[in-house]
Amino acid sequence: MALFVSALFDLARHEGNTRRRSVEEYLVLGRRLMASNIDLHVYVEPHLVDRVREMALTRPSSLRTVIESMAVQQLPKWAAAEAARHALADGTMVTTSSTMNVDKDTPAACALWWSKAELVQRAISLTNDESAWWIDFGIAHACVWPDGGLESLVDPKRTSLGVVVDWPTVSGTDFLRSGVPATTGGLIGLPRRDLARFRERFEHELRRALDLGLLVNDEALYSLMLDALDVDGRRVVWSTLLTTFVSEPVRSTSIESINEPAESTPPIEDHYDVVRRVRLPDPVDDRLRSMNPSICRHPLSGFVCLVREVNYCYRDGHYVRTDGSDIIKTTYRVLRLDDDLTVIGGWPLDDSFVRSDAPKFPVHGVEDLRLFRIHNAWWASGTIRQHRSDGLCQIMLLRLDGIDDGAPRVTDGRLLPSLATGRHEKNWMPIEGDSPSWIWATEPTVILRMDEVTGTLVPSRAARGEVKLRGGSQVIRRGDGWLAVVHDVRPRQTKFGRMNEYRHRFVRWDRALTSPMVSEPFRLGDDEMGLEFCAGLTLGANDTVILSTGIADNRAELIECRLPDEWRD
């Protein structure tokens, strides 16, 4: 038999951090765990015990259910985490690439993450079970729930870790300083006989990191343990973590296959017939750089393109302000193009309507606008940060007038609510149509439709299947379905160190925005660091599509190509 072990600690309350996912959300997500048909042991902070016990009342009496009260200060690794917190404050410890999320990767969170193996051992010692699974209480927010529920997980015959697509190419101290975590920590299979060895190795790696003055999360430590333990390392992404462990048989994965270099992503020309590339004009002010344009077909003829212009560039592995400012600034230029993609006019966008006289955060302007039309008017939506002192990203919807008069300007602006407290909102994809709506996420496809009277957003889920990708372009009609360009990122070694490489894909949905079809990944440009971004997509002539892309945060380009036959309706 197997045992499920989990924990619920209100870290947001403990840290006074309103940007962390709230415990109320975790209480909703945890219902899936409570519904599993397996014995369960959950460690819970005292003020939450009654609520979790109430959730557990629906579990069959034949199942062993233990809700153990534990203060956060009682976590086995609390003292180590507190020492790390003080060391960070006095400068004798630094964060690493595994702990750069200031909202999530805190010492208090590490106290729980570092304690997982000890909590499992404590729980299984009270049973006769031969194995246990550590399962994060709110894992449902990141994974597709498997058919048959969690009870369909096999008993781990050996220590089991989900090895994500990105894996370390270095080991030891170098990895601790600069590596990217190779494993997920939300699901760990631990046979009883392996627990002591697992804990011993984990303690060794943790102590080594702390002695070096490095704060690391549990995933980074598990990554270093892959070559030291007999581990089933299944290559997965977060979205498929649970279903992969359910559907695939237990098998041995050699560390050599995990550490082999990632295949290079082919250029778009390798997959599609590229008709032409058009570089859009650079800014008139040589202190600015063009990036991330968004193109849309004009209802009469030709195209309109919003080109983002910024006061920074990426130089020798660092972002550098090009105007001597301490503020990141975004402005826009509106271009008119004819049917041959020739620029026939260009004017600065007057966005003073939404600019604050006293910005509260040093990132000014609305970033990465996507251009679209609703009710025969021009609209755009993008991310804004200047209105909040904490810089939390929100989506702003803008109305644009004067484009056909050569005097483009923002005449209305509306902040759109977030679906989760404290969440950074970026990359919403406007859906072409008669009312404001967006694809908020692609896994599964979550659609937000605006009630234009109240301004509220109504979410709905449409697509089946797993598309663990980020937003990119608008979602446009093509034939009897919908088409968009999305992206993911993965670490890649460059001469400047490890960088995030952007990889793009086409996604096609049917008329009802269900059953997504996803293309192979491709590169848009030639930037050696992999910095590229598609913020626009429209239909061209002769069954082509046009992508508007930013390359290297330094130039704006259009790519016109034909899609293969299987992408036709």
Angle 26-27-31 from CA coordinates, rounded to 5°: 105
Backbone Cα Rg of the chain: 25
Instruction: State the pLDDT at residue 64.
Output: 95
Mean pLDDT along residues 335-339: 96
Burial 185-197 (b: 16+ CB within 10 A, else e): bbbbbbbbebbee
Asked which of 203-217, 346-360, 453-467 is least confident by mean pLDDT, the reply is: 453-467
Mean pLDDT along residues 473-498: 82
Asked which of 133-147, 378-392, 442-456 is least confident by mean pLDDT, the reply is: 442-456
Asked which of 35-39, 162-166, 342-346, 393-397 is least confident by mean pLDDT, the reply is: 162-166
Stronger pLDDT, 35 or 455, i.e. the higher one: 35
pLDDT band of residue 462 (cuts 50, 70, 90) is low
Does residue 566 register a pLDDT over 80?
Answer: no
pLDDT band of residue 307 (cuts 50, 70, 90) is very high
Instruction: State the pLDDT at residue 460.
Output: 73
Angle 356-359-362 from CA coordinates, rounded to 5°: 140
Q: What integer best gives the mean pLDDT of the chain?
A: 86
pLDDT band of residue 380 (cuts 50, 70, 90) is very high
Instruction: State the pLDDT at residue 367.
Output: 95
The amino acid present at 479, given as its one-letter code, is G
Q: What is the pLDDT of residues 223-250, one digit of tens each?
A: 888 777 778 877 776 777 888 888 765 5
Q: What is the pLDDT of residues 394-425, one digit of tens each?
A: 999 999 999 999 999 999 999 998 766 677 88
Does residue 100 register a pLDDT over 80?
Answer: no
Q: Which of 216-230, 260-274, 469-483 has the highest mean pLDDT?
A: 469-483
Does residue 303 register a pLDDT over 80?
Answer: yes
Instruction: State the pLDDT at residue 234.
Output: 77
Q: What is the DSSP letter of 456?
A: -
Neighbouring CB atoms inside 10 A of 147's CB total 9
Instruction: State the pLDDT at residue 357.
Output: 77
Neighbouring CB atoms inside 10 A of 322's CB total 16
Instruction: State the pLDDT at residue 209.
Output: 92
Q: What is the pLDDT of residues 125-150, one digit of tens each?
A: 999 999 999 999 988 776 777 877 88
The amino acid present at 449, given as its one-letter code, is R
Look up tokens 């990767």; give the residue. 105
Domains in the chain with CATH codes: 2-259 (3.90.550), 274-567 (2.115.10.20)
Q: What is the DSSP letter of 75?
A: S
Look up tokens 């960088």; give the residue. 499
Instruction: State the pLDDT at residue 463.
Output: 47
Q: Which of 170-184, 416-430, 453-467 has the highest mean pLDDT?
A: 416-430
Instruction: State the pLDDT at residue 390.
Output: 80
Instruction: State the pLDDT at residue 474.
Output: 96
| Alpha carbons 284 and 277: distance in angstroms, whole number | 21
**Residues β-bridged to residue 95:** 215
Mean pLDDT along residues 329-349: 96
* 260, 263, 264, 266 alpha-carbon torsion, rounded to 10°: 180
Q: What percent of the chain has pLDDT over 70?
A: 87
Mean pLDDT along residues 48-56: 95
Instruction: State the pLDDT at residue 256.
Output: 41
| Alpha carbons 495 and 341: distance in angstroms, whole number | 35
pLDDT band of residue 538 (cuts 50, 70, 90) is very high
pLDDT band of residue 29 (cuts 50, 70, 90) is confident
Instruction: State the pLDDT at residue 44.
Output: 97
Q: What is the pLDDT of residues 149-163, one digit of tens each?
A: 888 887 888 898 888
Instruction: State the pLDDT at residue 361.
Output: 86
This prediction has a pTM of: 0.58
Mean pLDDT along residues 356-363: 84
CB 298 within 8 A of CB 336: yes
Q: What is the pLDDT of residues 187-214, one digit of tens each?
A: 999 999 999 999 999 999 999 999 999 9
